[in-house]
Structure 1
Amino acid sequence: MEGATIAKDALTVQGTEQLSKKRHKITWKKIKEQRGLILMALPFVIWILIFNYTPLVGWVIAFQDYKPQNGFFGSEWVGFKHFIDLFNEPLFYTALKNTLGMGGLGLVFGTLSSITFALMLNEIRFSKFKRFTQTVSYLPHFVSWVVVANIVIQSLSPSGVVNQLLMSWNMIDSPINFMANPDYFWGIVTVSDVWKETGWNAIIYLAAMTSIDQEMYEAARVDGATRLQQMRHITLPAIRPIIIVLLIMSIGNLINIGFEKQMLLGNNIVADQALVIEKYALDYGIGMFRYSFGTAIGIFKSVVSIILIVIFNSIAKRTGEGQLM
């Protein structure tokens, strides 16, 4: 009995080794067949390694009292001192609140506006008008935030077009200084970002809609479905995996919203509402020559982003929707 078991185990091991060799041969065969594509992708892989992964070596200074004149090896090791200082800073939590608040608003309204706009464009049957509308809609994406911020500030000034319209419609009695009211700042940033990026973000949803089988729409029309019902029961379910994947990617960048919008649209009156993590790192880290402290902030952002991606990817995986990993 023991001999039969040993022989069976030996055959199993032998079969596994043969299968492994076969897979190895198939892998090298595929590499040889696709060597042209691999060579084309190689420069981009090298670029990513140099500019995205090599700088991670610099994370070591977050655990040092880094001095540029001493370098990596001459600086004193302090462990988690800078992380402790970071979490003891009240201003850090203000920046974190603002970052998550504006990031969350941008995520919700940005996603909804992009999907809605893509659905509306997909329903346009006049192709020339559709192409014209799509082109005009994504042009703001290429406009600098410096220009956009100037347009927004001028439009929302007491003598701007927004106040003039509101007064002509008898909605207000006197002009409102929107840019000097901290309660309006998050909304102004969100609306500005939505206006600038909706057309560009809708492109991928439109591309996904073009792959939907048109026979499904024809069958729905035969059954008497309206356009709204077709969008609800055919278009949205078909692009749901794309929506989930893009949502997961956006959630991963929830804390990486940049600081250009906040810096250009902000002023001294709304400074507390405009302070975000990256601006905090710039002003209280690099700006004050606290390189280790600034690096600790960067590590915190990266860890939070990874955690958010993993959590929401796991949720999507369990629900059977689109996923990244």
Structure 2
Amino acid sequence: MRGELLNTVVNKMGTGVKPGKWKRIQNRLWKDRYIYLLLAPGLLYFLVYRYIPMLGIAIAFKEYSPFLGFADSPWVGFDNFARIFESSEVIRVLGNTLIISLLQIIFAFPAPILLAIMLNEVSRSATKRIIQSVVYLPHFLSWVVVVGIVTIFFRNDGLVNDFLVLIMGMEQGVPFLTNPDFFRIFLVLEVIWKEAGWGTIIFLAALAGVSPSLYEAAVMDGASRLRQIWHITLPAIRSTIIILLIIRLGDVLEVGFEQVFLQLNAFNMEIGNTLDTFVYYKGIQQSDYSLSTAVGVFKGIVGLVLVITANKLAKRFGEQGVY
């Protein structure tokens, strides 16, 4: 009776869904109700923390004032976006973000690929499991802990400088944390140390599907280990690499707020201030909510354009792409 009533209502509303098709949808929803119930917390998370906050994008098109409120603040159109490109500070911060992101793509992105290939070459399973466990562990450390470890080792009276002075005979230590030349190097090395091990999970899963007969045939043909890696291992994970690279390009303007913020100081602010930290300083500390929101919208648009472009290029060259 309830199903007939629903079908009647749907037909009267003119949704275009046929009664039989609507019945099948109902049956499938009821049949897989427990699966959808498991999916509900994830959907609720994205709804509450991702989609509902998108209503705040309207601030980017207003001269927002907390005293006037969200609805009564005057509209200014694209003036806040024009301020992004008129401000020399924003241009400098954007340049810093792109440089750091490019360095991470060049050096940090291939790190889990190389590590996965090396782990795949380890023949003893016990040794392989131990190495995997060791390289996974840094992923579970927060950036506060990671930066704290780096500070302890590389500060002026830290272990590294003590080693350089006492063992290597240097007259004085190296100012690692206050020299701007080391800032970007530390950012990239920290990402590699923290995330390379965790990133190998996906690539090792892809390599697990490679048939051992391919390697056996290569050995019979006299191929060396490097030849086997080049002609069997890398092609097996090529599609995975391309998909992850496309996803990474979507976050090209995201270089990690916590990591950068915890290491910024007066000496490296000129080259270390990124879009994320700029939004914090401008939006939270200086209460320029409209400009900081416009910067966030700009980041999202750039990421979307890069993902779409990279996905189309991947498909043009015969790869599967993300969608």
Which is worse superposed, 237-246 or 175-184?
175-184
1:295 and 1:245 mapped to 2: Cα distance? Answer: 29
Question: 1:37: Cα distance to partner?
Answer: 2.5
The alignment's C-alpha RMSD in Å is 2.4
Partner-residue secondary structure (3-state), 1:193: helix
Q: Which residue of 2 aligns with 1:94?
A: 92
Cα distance change of structure 1 residues 42 and 71 upon mapping to structure 2, 3 Å threshold: same
Please show how residues 62-81 of structure 1 align to structure 2 within 5 Å.
62-81=60-79
Cα distance change of structure 1 residues 230 and 277 upon mapping to structure 2, 3 Å threshold: same
Q: Which residue of 2 aligns with 1:9?
A: none
Q: Which residue of 1 aligns with 2:39?
A: 41
Q: Which residue of 2 aligns with 1:311?
A: 309
Match of 1:142 among 140, 144, 148: 140
Q: Which residue of 1 aligns with 2:182?
A: 184
Q: Which runs of 5+ in 2 are unaligned?
A: 1-16
Q: Which residue of 2 aligns with 1:283?
A: 281
Q: Which residue of 2 aligns with 1:249?
A: 247
2:167 and 2:238 mapped to 1: Cα distance? Answer: 41
Please show how residues 131-280 of structure 1 align to structure 2 within 5 Å.
131-165=129-163, 174-280=172-278
Which is worse superposed, 306-315 or 148-157?
148-157
Partner-residue secondary structure (3-state), 2:109: helix
Cα distance change of structure 1 residues 234 and 286 upon mapping to structure 2, 3 Å threshold: same
Q: How many residues align?
A: 306
Q: Which residue of 1 aligns with 2:118?
A: 120
Question: 1:206: Cα distance to partner?
Answer: 0.8
Determine what percentage of the aligned residue pairs are the same residue: 38
Question: 1:136: Cα distance to partner?
Answer: 0.7
With the length of structure 1 as denominator, give the TM-score of the two structures: 0.87
Cα distance change of structure 1 residues 132 and 291 upon mapping to structure 2, 3 Å threshold: same
With the length of structure 2 as denominator, give the TM-score of the two structures: 0.87
Cα distance change of structure 1 residues 46 and 165 upon mapping to structure 2, 3 Å threshold: same
Question: 1:174: Cα distance to partner?
Answer: 4.2
Cα distance change of structure 1 residues 30 and 233 upon mapping to structure 2, 3 Å threshold: farther
Q: Which residue of 1 aligns with 2:14?
A: none
Cα distance change of structure 1 residues 55 and 174 upon mapping to structure 2, 3 Å threshold: same
Cα distance change of structure 1 residues 257 and 23 upon mapping to structure 2, 3 Å threshold: farther
* Contact persistence 2:176–2:182 (CA under 8 A): yes
Cα distance change of structure 1 residues 294 and 209 upon mapping to structure 2, 3 Å threshold: same
1:173 and 1:236 mapped to 2: Cα distance? Answer: 47
2:318 and 2:287 mapped to 1: Cα distance? Answer: 48
Question: 1:291: Cα distance to partner?
Answer: 1.3
Cα distance change of structure 1 residues 26 and 124 upon mapping to structure 2, 3 Å threshold: farther
* Contact persistence 1:98–1:276 (CA under 8 A): yes
1:172 and 1:25 mapped to 2: Cα distance? Answer: 79
1:266 and 1:172 mapped to 2: Cα distance? Answer: 27
* Contact persistence 1:185–1:274 (CA under 8 A): yes
Provide Cα deviations, 1:31-69, integer angstroms capped at 9, x if missing partner.
565444233323322321222111111111111111223
Partner-residue secondary structure (3-state), 1:321: coil
One-letter code of the match for 2:44? Answer: I
2:43 and 2:114 mapped to 1: Cα distance? Answer: 36
